[in-house]
Structure 1
Amino acid sequence: MKKIMLFCFLLTGIFSVNAQNAGIDKEAFAHTFSIVARDTLTGEMAVAIQSHWFSVGSLVSWGKAGVGVVATQSFVNPAYGPEGLALMDEGIAAEEALTRLIEKDEGRAYRQVAFLDATGNVSAYTGEKCVESAEDMQGKNFSVQANMMLNDRVVPAMAETFAMNPDLPLAERIVKVLQAAQEAGGDIRGKQSAALIVVGPDKTDKEWEEKKIDLRVDDSANPIQELARLLKVHRAYEHMNRGDLAVEANDMEKALLEYGTAEKMFPDNLEMKFWKAVALANSGRLEEAKPIFEKIFEQDDNWRKMIFRLPPSGLLNLSEEEIKSITE
Protein backbone atom coordinates (compact mmCIF):
# COMPACT_ATOMS: atom_id res chain seq x y z
CA MET A 1 0.00 0.00 0.00
CA LYS A 2 2.85 2.43 0.90
CA LYS A 3 4.50 1.69 -2.45
CA ILE A 4 1.26 2.47 -4.30
CA MET A 5 0.85 5.75 -2.41
CA LEU A 6 4.46 6.74 -3.14
CA PHE A 7 3.99 5.85 -6.81
CA CYS A 8 0.87 8.03 -7.03
CA PHE A 9 2.63 10.92 -5.27
CA LEU A 10 5.59 10.79 -7.65
CA LEU A 11 3.30 10.35 -10.62
CA THR A 12 1.29 13.39 -9.61
CA GLY A 13 4.44 15.46 -9.38
CA ILE A 14 5.78 14.31 -12.76
CA PHE A 15 2.50 14.88 -14.53
CA SER A 16 2.01 18.24 -12.83
CA VAL A 17 5.32 19.46 -14.27
CA ASN A 18 4.45 18.16 -17.73
CA ALA A 19 0.97 19.62 -17.46
CA GLN A 20 2.35 23.04 -16.55
CA ASN A 21 4.53 22.88 -19.64
CA ALA A 22 1.35 22.31 -21.65
CA GLY A 23 -0.34 25.28 -20.02
CA ILE A 24 -2.68 23.15 -17.87
CA ASP A 25 -3.89 24.13 -14.42
CA LYS A 26 -2.15 21.54 -12.22
CA GLU A 27 -4.93 21.75 -9.62
CA ALA A 28 -7.60 20.49 -12.03
CA PHE A 29 -6.53 16.92 -11.41
CA ALA A 30 -9.49 14.52 -11.32
CA HIS A 31 -8.60 11.05 -12.50
CA THR A 32 -11.73 8.97 -12.39
CA PHE A 33 -14.15 6.55 -13.98
CA SER A 34 -17.44 7.78 -15.40
CA ILE A 35 -20.42 7.05 -17.62
CA VAL A 36 -22.65 9.20 -19.81
CA ALA A 37 -25.87 7.49 -20.88
CA ARG A 38 -29.40 7.95 -22.21
CA ASP A 39 -32.61 6.02 -21.49
CA THR A 40 -34.23 5.17 -24.82
CA LEU A 41 -37.73 4.97 -23.28
CA THR A 42 -37.82 8.16 -21.21
CA GLY A 43 -35.22 10.19 -23.08
CA GLU A 44 -33.52 11.02 -19.77
CA MET A 45 -29.76 11.53 -19.89
CA ALA A 46 -27.29 11.00 -17.08
CA VAL A 47 -23.66 11.28 -16.06
CA ALA A 48 -22.15 9.52 -13.05
CA ILE A 49 -18.60 9.43 -11.71
CA GLN A 50 -16.31 8.23 -8.90
CA SER A 51 -12.78 9.29 -8.08
CA HIS A 52 -10.14 9.34 -5.38
CA TRP A 53 -10.34 13.13 -5.45
CA PHE A 54 -12.30 15.57 -3.33
CA SER A 55 -15.65 16.80 -4.72
CA VAL A 56 -15.24 15.26 -8.17
CA GLY A 57 -18.80 16.22 -9.07
CA SER A 58 -17.95 19.92 -8.96
CA LEU A 59 -15.53 19.53 -11.89
CA VAL A 60 -16.33 16.48 -13.98
CA SER A 61 -20.11 16.23 -14.48
CA TRP A 62 -22.28 18.55 -16.58
CA GLY A 63 -25.81 18.25 -17.95
CA LYS A 64 -28.61 20.25 -19.54
CA ALA A 65 -32.17 19.06 -20.11
CA GLY A 66 -33.03 18.40 -23.73
CA VAL A 67 -29.41 18.97 -24.74
CA GLY A 68 -26.98 16.42 -23.34
CA VAL A 69 -24.44 15.45 -20.69
CA VAL A 70 -20.67 15.76 -20.44
CA ALA A 71 -17.92 14.12 -18.40
CA THR A 72 -14.56 15.94 -18.48
CA GLN A 73 -11.76 14.29 -16.50
CA SER A 74 -8.07 13.36 -16.13
CA PHE A 75 -6.36 16.78 -16.16
CA VAL A 76 -9.71 18.52 -16.20
CA ASN A 77 -10.57 21.34 -18.53
CA PRO A 78 -13.94 22.39 -17.04
CA ALA A 79 -14.72 24.46 -20.13
CA TYR A 80 -15.65 21.26 -21.97
CA GLY A 81 -18.81 21.19 -19.83
CA PRO A 82 -20.50 24.52 -20.60
CA GLU A 83 -18.93 24.90 -24.03
CA GLY A 84 -19.85 21.38 -25.07
CA LEU A 85 -23.44 21.81 -23.89
CA ALA A 86 -23.66 25.14 -25.71
CA LEU A 87 -22.59 23.51 -28.98
CA MET A 88 -25.00 20.61 -28.57
CA ASP A 89 -27.73 23.12 -27.67
CA GLU A 90 -27.20 24.61 -31.15
CA GLY A 91 -28.00 21.19 -32.64
CA ILE A 92 -24.41 20.13 -33.23
CA ALA A 93 -24.01 16.38 -32.71
CA ALA A 94 -21.87 15.05 -29.87
CA GLU A 95 -19.01 13.88 -32.09
CA GLU A 96 -18.60 17.16 -33.93
CA ALA A 97 -18.98 19.20 -30.76
CA LEU A 98 -16.25 17.22 -29.00
CA THR A 99 -13.98 17.31 -32.04
CA ARG A 100 -14.20 21.10 -32.22
CA LEU A 101 -13.18 21.50 -28.59
CA ILE A 102 -10.40 18.91 -28.74
CA GLU A 103 -8.86 20.54 -31.80
CA LYS A 104 -8.44 23.91 -30.07
CA ASP A 105 -7.20 22.45 -26.75
CA GLU A 106 -3.40 22.61 -26.39
CA GLY A 107 -3.61 20.23 -23.45
CA ARG A 108 -5.67 17.59 -25.27
CA ALA A 109 -3.04 14.88 -24.74
CA TYR A 110 -3.94 14.95 -21.02
CA ARG A 111 -7.73 15.04 -21.42
CA GLN A 112 -10.39 12.40 -21.17
CA VAL A 113 -13.84 13.60 -22.20
CA ALA A 114 -17.21 12.10 -23.15
CA PHE A 115 -20.23 13.81 -24.74
CA LEU A 116 -23.76 12.47 -25.18
CA ASP A 117 -26.47 14.48 -26.94
CA ALA A 118 -30.27 14.39 -26.70
CA THR A 119 -30.62 11.98 -29.62
CA GLY A 120 -28.29 9.44 -28.03
CA ASN A 121 -25.18 10.19 -30.09
CA VAL A 122 -22.02 9.61 -28.05
CA SER A 123 -18.40 10.55 -28.52
CA ALA A 124 -15.37 10.18 -26.29
CA TYR A 125 -11.70 11.05 -26.33
CA THR A 126 -8.80 9.67 -24.29
CA GLY A 127 -5.56 11.62 -24.65
CA GLU A 128 -2.33 9.77 -25.19
CA LYS A 129 -0.86 11.04 -21.91
CA CYS A 130 -3.75 9.97 -19.67
CA VAL A 131 -2.45 7.70 -16.93
CA GLU A 132 -2.94 3.99 -17.54
CA SER A 133 -5.03 2.07 -17.27
CA ALA A 134 -6.98 4.51 -19.45
CA GLU A 135 -9.67 3.63 -21.95
CA ASP A 136 -13.11 4.54 -23.25
CA MET A 137 -15.83 2.34 -24.79
CA GLN A 138 -19.06 3.28 -26.52
CA GLY A 139 -22.32 1.46 -27.14
CA LYS A 140 -25.85 2.41 -28.07
CA ASN A 141 -26.74 5.51 -26.05
CA PHE A 142 -23.76 5.31 -23.67
CA SER A 143 -20.05 5.82 -23.23
CA VAL A 144 -17.87 4.62 -20.34
CA GLN A 145 -14.38 5.95 -19.70
CA ALA A 146 -11.70 5.73 -17.05
CA ASN A 147 -8.09 6.61 -16.37
CA MET A 148 -5.58 5.75 -13.62
CA MET A 149 -7.42 2.47 -13.01
CA LEU A 150 -5.96 -0.49 -11.17
CA ASN A 151 -6.32 -2.69 -14.26
CA ASP A 152 -7.74 -2.83 -17.77
CA ARG A 153 -10.87 -4.76 -16.72
CA VAL A 154 -12.66 -1.72 -15.30
CA VAL A 155 -14.02 -0.15 -18.49
CA PRO A 156 -15.23 -3.43 -20.07
CA ALA A 157 -17.00 -4.28 -16.78
CA MET A 158 -18.79 -0.93 -16.91
CA ALA A 159 -19.94 -1.42 -20.50
CA GLU A 160 -21.12 -4.96 -19.81
CA THR A 161 -23.06 -3.92 -16.71
CA PHE A 162 -24.86 -1.11 -18.53
CA ALA A 163 -25.87 -3.48 -21.33
CA MET A 164 -27.10 -6.14 -18.86
CA ASN A 165 -29.52 -3.90 -16.95
CA PRO A 166 -31.88 -2.31 -19.49
CA ASP A 167 -34.96 -2.66 -17.26
CA LEU A 168 -33.65 -0.49 -14.43
CA PRO A 169 -34.41 3.24 -14.22
CA LEU A 170 -31.49 5.14 -15.70
CA ALA A 171 -30.14 6.47 -12.38
CA GLU A 172 -30.14 3.04 -10.72
CA ARG A 173 -28.68 1.52 -13.85
CA ILE A 174 -25.63 3.77 -13.93
CA VAL A 175 -25.03 3.44 -10.19
CA LYS A 176 -24.74 -0.29 -10.90
CA VAL A 177 -22.15 0.60 -13.54
CA LEU A 178 -20.10 2.50 -10.94
CA GLN A 179 -20.37 -0.46 -8.57
CA ALA A 180 -19.15 -2.80 -11.31
CA ALA A 181 -16.18 -0.53 -11.99
CA GLN A 182 -15.19 -0.60 -8.34
CA GLU A 183 -15.61 -4.37 -8.10
CA ALA A 184 -13.37 -4.79 -11.15
CA GLY A 185 -10.58 -2.85 -9.48
CA GLY A 186 -11.51 0.81 -9.70
CA ASP A 187 -9.15 3.75 -9.22
CA ILE A 188 -5.65 2.56 -8.28
CA ARG A 189 -5.59 5.22 -5.51
CA GLY A 190 -8.86 4.15 -3.90
CA LYS A 191 -12.19 5.93 -3.29
CA GLN A 192 -13.24 9.39 -2.15
CA SER A 193 -16.09 11.11 -4.00
CA ALA A 194 -18.91 10.42 -6.45
CA ALA A 195 -21.70 12.24 -8.24
CA LEU A 196 -24.84 11.61 -10.29
CA ILE A 197 -26.80 13.98 -12.53
CA VAL A 198 -29.97 13.11 -14.47
CA VAL A 199 -31.60 15.58 -16.86
CA GLY A 200 -34.84 15.31 -18.78
CA PRO A 201 -35.43 14.91 -22.53
CA ASP A 202 -36.99 18.34 -23.08
CA LYS A 203 -35.44 21.77 -22.90
CA THR A 204 -36.72 24.09 -20.20
CA ASP A 205 -36.32 27.77 -19.38
CA LYS A 206 -37.01 27.03 -15.71
CA GLU A 207 -33.65 26.59 -14.05
CA TRP A 208 -35.13 24.71 -11.09
CA GLU A 209 -36.44 22.03 -13.48
CA GLU A 210 -33.09 21.57 -15.22
CA LYS A 211 -31.95 18.51 -13.25
CA LYS A 212 -34.24 15.67 -12.20
CA ILE A 213 -31.53 14.21 -9.96
CA ASP A 214 -28.44 16.01 -8.71
CA LEU A 215 -26.53 14.06 -6.04
CA ARG A 216 -22.97 14.50 -4.80
CA VAL A 217 -20.81 12.72 -2.28
CA ASP A 218 -17.81 15.01 -1.83
CA ASP A 219 -15.77 13.05 0.71
CA SER A 220 -16.49 9.51 1.89
CA ALA A 221 -14.74 6.23 2.60
CA ASN A 222 -17.41 4.52 0.45
CA PRO A 223 -18.71 7.13 -2.00
CA ILE A 224 -20.56 4.80 -4.36
CA GLN A 225 -22.34 3.10 -1.46
CA GLU A 226 -23.33 6.52 -0.13
CA LEU A 227 -24.45 7.64 -3.60
CA ALA A 228 -26.71 4.59 -3.84
CA ARG A 229 -28.17 5.40 -0.42
CA LEU A 230 -28.82 9.01 -1.41
CA LEU A 231 -30.53 7.86 -4.59
CA LYS A 232 -32.86 5.69 -2.51
CA VAL A 233 -33.59 8.68 -0.26
CA HIS A 234 -34.28 10.75 -3.37
CA ARG A 235 -36.78 8.17 -4.61
CA ALA A 236 -38.51 8.11 -1.21
CA TYR A 237 -38.87 11.88 -1.21
CA GLU A 238 -40.29 11.77 -4.73
CA HIS A 239 -43.16 9.85 -3.11
CA MET A 240 -43.28 12.40 -0.30
CA ASN A 241 -43.53 15.25 -2.82
CA ARG A 242 -46.35 13.49 -4.66
CA GLY A 243 -48.05 13.00 -1.31
CA ASP A 244 -47.79 16.74 -0.62
CA LEU A 245 -49.34 17.52 -4.00
CA ALA A 246 -52.17 15.08 -3.26
CA VAL A 247 -52.83 16.86 0.05
CA GLU A 248 -53.01 20.18 -1.80
CA ALA A 249 -55.57 18.61 -4.12
CA ASN A 250 -57.46 17.17 -1.11
CA ASP A 251 -56.88 13.64 -2.44
CA MET A 252 -56.12 12.00 0.88
CA GLU A 253 -56.21 8.44 -0.43
CA LYS A 254 -53.46 9.21 -2.92
CA ALA A 255 -51.53 11.11 -0.25
CA LEU A 256 -51.79 8.11 2.05
CA LEU A 257 -50.50 5.82 -0.68
CA GLU A 258 -47.52 8.04 -1.50
CA TYR A 259 -46.54 8.73 2.12
CA GLY A 260 -46.94 5.05 2.95
CA THR A 261 -44.67 4.03 0.08
CA ALA A 262 -42.00 6.45 1.26
CA GLU A 263 -42.28 5.18 4.82
CA LYS A 264 -41.81 1.58 3.72
CA MET A 265 -38.52 2.61 2.10
CA PHE A 266 -37.30 4.33 5.30
CA PRO A 267 -39.38 2.96 8.21
CA ASP A 268 -37.36 4.86 10.85
CA ASN A 269 -37.88 8.29 9.27
CA LEU A 270 -40.19 10.27 11.61
CA GLU A 271 -41.26 12.76 8.99
CA MET A 272 -42.49 10.06 6.66
CA LYS A 273 -44.40 8.46 9.54
CA PHE A 274 -45.86 11.82 10.55
CA TRP A 275 -47.31 12.73 7.17
CA LYS A 276 -48.69 9.23 6.72
CA ALA A 277 -50.50 9.67 10.06
CA VAL A 278 -51.78 13.08 8.94
CA ALA A 279 -53.14 11.53 5.75
CA LEU A 280 -54.85 8.82 7.79
CA ALA A 281 -56.43 11.42 10.07
CA ASN A 282 -57.62 13.49 7.11
CA SER A 283 -59.13 10.37 5.55
CA GLY A 284 -61.39 9.73 8.54
CA ARG A 285 -59.08 7.06 9.97
CA LEU A 286 -58.07 8.94 13.11
CA GLU A 287 -57.99 5.83 15.30
CA GLU A 288 -55.36 4.29 13.01
CA ALA A 289 -53.37 7.50 13.11
CA LYS A 290 -53.31 7.93 16.89
CA PRO A 291 -50.80 5.18 17.78
CA ILE A 292 -48.51 6.41 15.01
CA PHE A 293 -48.62 9.95 16.37
CA GLU A 294 -48.00 8.64 19.88
CA LYS A 295 -44.84 6.80 18.87
CA ILE A 296 -43.57 9.84 16.96
CA PHE A 297 -44.15 12.16 19.93
CA GLU A 298 -42.28 9.74 22.20
CA GLN A 299 -39.19 10.13 20.04
CA ASP A 300 -39.44 13.86 19.32
CA ASP A 301 -42.03 16.07 21.02
CA ASN A 302 -41.60 18.85 18.47
CA TRP A 303 -43.89 16.88 16.17
CA ARG A 304 -46.66 17.29 18.78
CA LYS A 305 -46.20 21.06 18.50
CA MET A 306 -46.38 20.75 14.73
CA ILE A 307 -49.95 19.38 14.97
CA PHE A 308 -51.26 22.77 16.15
CA ARG A 309 -49.68 24.56 13.18
CA LEU A 310 -51.35 22.46 10.50
CA PRO A 311 -55.08 23.38 10.72
CA PRO A 312 -54.57 27.10 9.83
CA SER A 313 -52.81 26.00 6.65
CA GLY A 314 -55.52 23.49 5.79
CA LEU A 315 -53.16 20.55 6.17
CA LEU A 316 -55.04 18.88 9.02
CA ASN A 317 -58.83 18.84 8.91
CA LEU A 318 -59.78 17.89 12.47
CA SER A 319 -61.94 19.44 15.15
CA GLU A 320 -60.40 20.91 18.32
CA GLU A 321 -61.63 17.90 20.23
CA GLU A 322 -60.00 15.51 17.79
CA ILE A 323 -56.73 17.43 17.94
CA LYS A 324 -56.81 17.18 21.74
CA SER A 325 -57.28 13.44 21.45
CA ILE A 326 -54.01 13.27 19.52
CA THR A 327 -51.90 15.68 21.54
CA GLU A 328 -53.00 15.15 25.16
Structure 2
Amino acid sequence: MTFSLVARCAETGMFGLAISSSSPAVAARCSFARAGVGAVASQNVTDPSLGPLTLDLMGQGKSAGEAIEAIKAQAKFIEYRQVLAVDTNGLSAIHSGPNSLGIWTQAQAENVASGGNLLDNDEVPQAIVDGFLSSTGHIGDRLIAAMRAGLTAGGEAGPVHSAGMKIVDKVSWPVADLRCDWTEDCPIETIATAWDVYKPQLDAYIQRAFDPRGAPSYGVPGDE
Protein backbone atom coordinates (compact mmCIF):
# COMPACT_ATOMS: atom_id res chain seq x y z
CA MET A 1 0.00 0.00 0.00
CA THR A 2 2.94 2.25 -0.77
CA PHE A 3 4.97 3.68 -3.62
CA SER A 4 8.29 5.45 -3.27
CA LEU A 5 11.64 6.33 -4.72
CA VAL A 6 15.16 6.72 -3.37
CA ALA A 7 17.49 8.96 -5.35
CA ARG A 8 20.88 10.66 -5.56
CA CYS A 9 21.68 13.95 -7.26
CA ALA A 10 24.72 13.30 -9.44
CA GLU A 11 25.69 17.00 -9.40
CA THR A 12 25.48 17.74 -5.66
CA GLY A 13 25.74 14.32 -3.99
CA MET A 14 22.49 14.98 -2.11
CA PHE A 15 20.30 12.00 -1.33
CA GLY A 16 16.54 12.10 -1.20
CA LEU A 17 13.50 9.94 -0.75
CA ALA A 18 9.81 10.47 -1.39
CA ILE A 19 6.99 8.13 -0.44
CA SER A 20 3.19 7.96 -0.32
CA SER A 21 0.64 5.49 1.02
CA SER A 22 -2.97 4.91 1.93
CA SER A 23 -1.69 4.19 5.46
CA PRO A 24 -1.17 7.00 7.98
CA ALA A 25 2.26 8.55 8.63
CA VAL A 26 4.10 6.41 6.08
CA ALA A 27 7.23 8.58 6.11
CA ALA A 28 7.65 8.12 9.86
CA ARG A 29 8.16 4.37 9.40
CA CYS A 30 9.61 3.93 5.95
CA SER A 31 12.04 6.73 4.98
CA PHE A 32 15.74 6.77 5.85
CA ALA A 33 18.69 8.74 4.49
CA ARG A 34 22.18 9.62 5.67
CA ALA A 35 24.46 12.27 4.18
CA GLY A 36 27.49 10.78 2.44
CA VAL A 37 25.99 7.27 2.66
CA GLY A 38 22.70 6.85 0.84
CA ALA A 39 18.93 6.65 1.00
CA VAL A 40 16.73 3.68 1.87
CA ALA A 41 13.00 2.95 1.83
CA SER A 42 11.76 0.03 3.94
CA GLN A 43 8.12 -0.70 3.14
CA ASN A 44 5.36 -3.33 2.74
CA VAL A 45 4.46 -4.89 6.11
CA THR A 46 7.16 -2.56 7.28
CA ASP A 47 10.18 -3.40 9.41
CA PRO A 48 11.61 0.07 10.13
CA SER A 49 14.84 -1.43 11.52
CA LEU A 50 15.89 -2.40 7.99
CA GLY A 51 16.38 1.24 7.01
CA PRO A 52 19.11 2.14 9.51
CA LEU A 53 20.67 -1.31 9.14
CA THR A 54 20.98 -0.92 5.37
CA LEU A 55 22.50 2.55 5.83
CA ASP A 56 24.96 1.15 8.37
CA LEU A 57 26.07 -1.50 5.88
CA MET A 58 26.57 1.07 3.13
CA GLY A 59 28.39 3.31 5.61
CA GLN A 60 30.81 0.43 6.16
CA GLY A 61 31.63 0.44 2.45
CA LYS A 62 29.12 -1.98 0.95
CA SER A 63 27.40 -1.02 -2.28
CA ALA A 64 23.62 -0.75 -2.37
CA GLY A 65 23.43 -4.21 -3.91
CA GLU A 66 25.76 -5.74 -1.36
CA ALA A 67 23.84 -4.15 1.49
CA ILE A 68 20.52 -5.45 0.17
CA GLU A 69 21.98 -8.97 -0.17
CA ALA A 70 23.21 -8.79 3.41
CA ILE A 71 19.77 -7.68 4.57
CA LYS A 72 18.14 -10.56 2.73
CA ALA A 73 20.49 -12.99 4.46
CA GLN A 74 19.86 -11.79 8.01
CA ALA A 75 16.45 -10.10 8.25
CA LYS A 76 13.42 -11.93 9.61
CA PHE A 77 10.36 -12.39 7.40
CA ILE A 78 12.22 -10.88 4.46
CA GLU A 79 9.68 -12.45 2.11
CA TYR A 80 7.19 -9.78 3.27
CA ARG A 81 9.48 -6.77 2.83
CA GLN A 82 10.35 -4.29 0.12
CA VAL A 83 13.67 -2.49 0.60
CA LEU A 84 15.08 0.08 -1.85
CA ALA A 85 18.56 1.60 -1.63
CA VAL A 86 20.86 3.98 -3.51
CA ASP A 87 24.51 4.55 -2.62
CA THR A 88 27.24 7.18 -3.04
CA ASN A 89 28.21 5.85 -6.48
CA GLY A 90 24.65 6.11 -7.73
CA LEU A 91 24.20 2.34 -7.69
CA SER A 92 20.68 1.25 -6.78
CA ALA A 93 19.25 -2.03 -5.53
CA ILE A 94 15.83 -3.37 -4.60
CA HIS A 95 14.46 -6.36 -2.74
CA SER A 96 10.78 -7.14 -3.20
CA GLY A 97 9.67 -10.20 -1.27
CA PRO A 98 7.21 -12.62 -2.90
CA ASN A 99 4.66 -11.84 -0.18
CA SER A 100 4.52 -8.16 -1.13
CA LEU A 101 0.91 -7.03 -1.25
CA GLY A 102 -1.34 -6.84 -4.29
CA ILE A 103 0.19 -5.66 -7.55
CA TRP A 104 3.82 -5.00 -6.72
CA THR A 105 6.78 -4.20 -8.90
CA GLN A 106 9.95 -2.17 -9.06
CA ALA A 107 12.18 -0.18 -11.41
CA GLN A 108 15.65 1.26 -11.18
CA ALA A 109 18.33 3.18 -13.03
CA GLU A 110 21.54 4.99 -12.18
CA ASN A 111 20.95 7.21 -9.14
CA VAL A 112 17.33 6.13 -8.60
CA ALA A 113 15.15 3.20 -7.59
CA SER A 114 11.39 2.94 -7.18
CA GLY A 115 9.08 0.26 -5.85
CA GLY A 116 5.51 -0.16 -4.77
CA ASN A 117 2.84 -2.56 -3.60
CA LEU A 118 -0.95 -2.64 -3.84
CA LEU A 119 -0.46 -0.57 -6.97
CA ASP A 120 -3.09 0.35 -9.52
CA ASN A 121 -0.90 -1.25 -12.20
CA ASP A 122 2.62 -2.56 -12.70
CA GLU A 123 3.85 0.50 -14.64
CA VAL A 124 3.87 2.91 -11.69
CA PRO A 125 7.50 2.45 -10.50
CA GLN A 126 8.87 2.85 -14.02
CA ALA A 127 6.85 6.05 -14.41
CA ILE A 128 8.40 7.31 -11.17
CA VAL A 129 11.93 6.50 -12.35
CA ASP A 130 11.24 8.15 -15.70
CA GLY A 131 9.80 11.18 -13.94
CA PHE A 132 12.93 11.59 -11.87
CA LEU A 133 15.33 11.11 -14.79
CA SER A 134 13.47 13.50 -17.07
CA SER A 135 13.25 16.30 -14.49
CA THR A 136 15.86 18.92 -13.66
CA GLY A 137 16.76 21.29 -10.85
CA HIS A 138 17.02 20.70 -7.11
CA ILE A 139 16.62 17.09 -6.00
CA GLY A 140 13.52 18.14 -4.06
CA ASP A 141 11.88 19.39 -7.24
CA ARG A 142 12.80 16.15 -8.98
CA LEU A 143 11.39 14.00 -6.17
CA ILE A 144 8.09 15.85 -6.39
CA ALA A 145 8.04 15.49 -10.18
CA ALA A 146 8.69 11.76 -9.87
CA MET A 147 5.89 11.22 -7.34
CA ARG A 148 3.47 13.21 -9.46
CA ALA A 149 4.41 11.00 -12.41
CA GLY A 150 3.70 7.91 -10.34
CA LEU A 151 0.34 9.27 -9.29
CA THR A 152 -0.54 10.13 -12.88
CA ALA A 153 0.40 6.60 -13.93
CA GLY A 154 -2.12 5.20 -11.46
CA GLY A 155 -0.42 5.29 -8.06
CA GLU A 156 -1.87 3.02 -5.42
CA ALA A 157 -4.99 0.98 -6.11
CA GLY A 158 -6.90 3.10 -3.59
CA PRO A 159 -6.60 6.73 -2.48
CA VAL A 160 -3.37 7.79 -0.78
CA HIS A 161 -3.56 9.64 2.55
CA SER A 162 0.03 10.27 3.69
CA ALA A 163 3.33 11.23 2.10
CA GLY A 164 6.81 12.44 2.93
CA MET A 165 10.01 13.76 1.42
CA LYS A 166 13.44 13.63 3.05
CA ILE A 167 16.69 15.19 1.77
CA VAL A 168 20.20 14.96 3.26
CA ASP A 169 23.30 16.93 2.32
CA LYS A 170 26.67 17.14 4.15
CA VAL A 171 25.28 17.71 7.67
CA SER A 172 24.19 15.08 10.18
CA TRP A 173 20.51 16.01 10.05
CA PRO A 174 18.04 16.06 7.14
CA VAL A 175 18.11 19.45 5.41
CA ALA A 176 14.47 18.85 4.52
CA ASP A 177 12.07 16.42 6.18
CA LEU A 178 8.51 17.20 5.10
CA ARG A 179 5.54 15.04 6.05
CA CYS A 180 1.82 14.86 5.63
CA ASP A 181 0.67 12.18 8.05
CA TRP A 182 -3.01 12.14 7.03
CA THR A 183 -5.28 14.00 4.67
CA GLU A 184 -8.41 13.30 2.67
CA ASP A 185 -6.90 15.49 -0.06
CA CYS A 186 -3.77 14.58 -2.05
CA PRO A 187 -0.82 14.20 0.35
CA ILE A 188 1.70 14.48 -2.48
CA GLU A 189 0.36 17.91 -3.40
CA THR A 190 0.40 18.84 0.30
CA ILE A 191 4.10 17.97 0.39
CA ALA A 192 4.66 19.85 -2.87
CA THR A 193 3.11 22.97 -1.33
CA ALA A 194 5.26 22.60 1.79
CA TRP A 195 8.36 22.24 -0.41
CA ASP A 196 7.52 25.43 -2.28
CA VAL A 197 7.52 27.24 1.06
CA TYR A 198 10.53 25.46 2.55
CA LYS A 199 12.92 25.42 -0.41
CA PRO A 200 13.74 29.18 -0.34
CA GLN A 201 14.53 28.91 3.39
CA LEU A 202 16.54 25.68 3.35
CA ASP A 203 19.98 27.30 3.29
CA ALA A 204 18.99 29.80 6.00
CA TYR A 205 18.07 26.99 8.38
CA ILE A 206 21.48 25.41 7.85
CA GLN A 207 23.22 28.75 8.38
CA ARG A 208 21.34 29.32 11.64
CA ALA A 209 22.63 25.99 12.92
CA PHE A 210 26.27 26.85 12.22
CA ASP A 211 26.29 30.57 13.04
CA PRO A 212 23.04 32.37 13.81
CA ARG A 213 24.85 35.71 13.94
CA GLY A 214 25.11 35.86 10.18
CA ALA A 215 21.85 34.15 9.37
CA PRO A 216 18.85 35.87 7.74
CA SER A 217 16.08 37.18 9.97
CA TYR A 218 13.27 34.83 10.87
CA GLY A 219 10.65 36.86 9.05
CA VAL A 220 8.02 36.52 11.77
CA PRO A 221 6.19 39.17 13.83
CA GLY A 222 8.46 40.51 16.58
CA ASP A 223 11.67 39.62 14.74
CA GLU A 224 13.87 42.69 14.39
> TM-score scaled by structure 1?
0.63
1:95 is matched with 65
Structure of greater relative contact order (alpha carbons < 8 Å, 6+ residues apart): 2
- Cα deviation, 1:235-260, whole Å, max 9, x if unaligned, reads 1323765998999459xxxx6xxx8x
1:322 is matched with none
1:231 is matched with 195
Matches of 1:238 and 1:160 in 2, distance apart? Answer: 26
Could you tell me which runs of 5 or more consecutive residues in structure 2 were left unpaired when the two chains were aligned.
Answer: none
1:192 is matched with 161
Q: Which of 17, 35, 38 is the matching residue for 2:8?
A: 38
List 4+ stretches of structure 1 deviating above 4 A: 239-250
> TM-score scaled by structure 2?
0.90
1:182 Cα deviation from its structure 2 partner: 1.0
Instruction: Report 1:293-308 matches (<5 A).
Output: 303=221, 306=222
Q: Which of 171, 174, 178 is the matching residue for 2:143?
A: 174
Give the structure with higher Rg (CA): 1
Q: How many corresponding residue pairs?
A: 222
1:33 Cα deviation from its structure 2 partner: 0.3
- Three-state SS of the structure 1 residue aligned to 2:62 is coil
Q: Is the 8 A contact 2:29 2:46 kept in 1?
A: yes
Q: Is the 8 A contact 2:175 2:202 kept in 1?
A: no
Distance 1:104 1:164, change over 3 A: same
1:105 Cα deviation from its structure 2 partner: 2.7
- Three-state SS of the structure 1 residue aligned to 2:44 is strand
- 2:124 corresponds to 1:154: yes
Matches of 2:85 and 2:20 in 1, distance apart? Answer: 17
1:218 is matched with 181
Distance 1:247 1:189, change over 3 A: closer
2:30 is matched with 60
- Cα deviation, 1:173-210, whole Å, max 9, x if unaligned, reads 0111111111111111211100111111x4x5xxxx42
Could you tell me which runs of 5 or more consecutive residues in structure 1 were left unpaired when the two chains were aligned.
Answer: 1-30, 260-270, 275-302, 311-328
- Three-state SS of the structure 1 residue aligned to 2:42 is strand
Instruction: Report 1:5-84 matches (<5 A).
Output: 31-84=1-54
Q: Which of 74, 77, 81 is the matching residue for 1:107?
A: 77
Q: Which is richer in strand?
A: 2
Matches of 1:241 and 1:134 in 2, distance apart? Answer: 38
Q: Which is richer in helix?
A: 1
Matches of 2:102 and 2:110 in 1, distance apart? Answer: 25
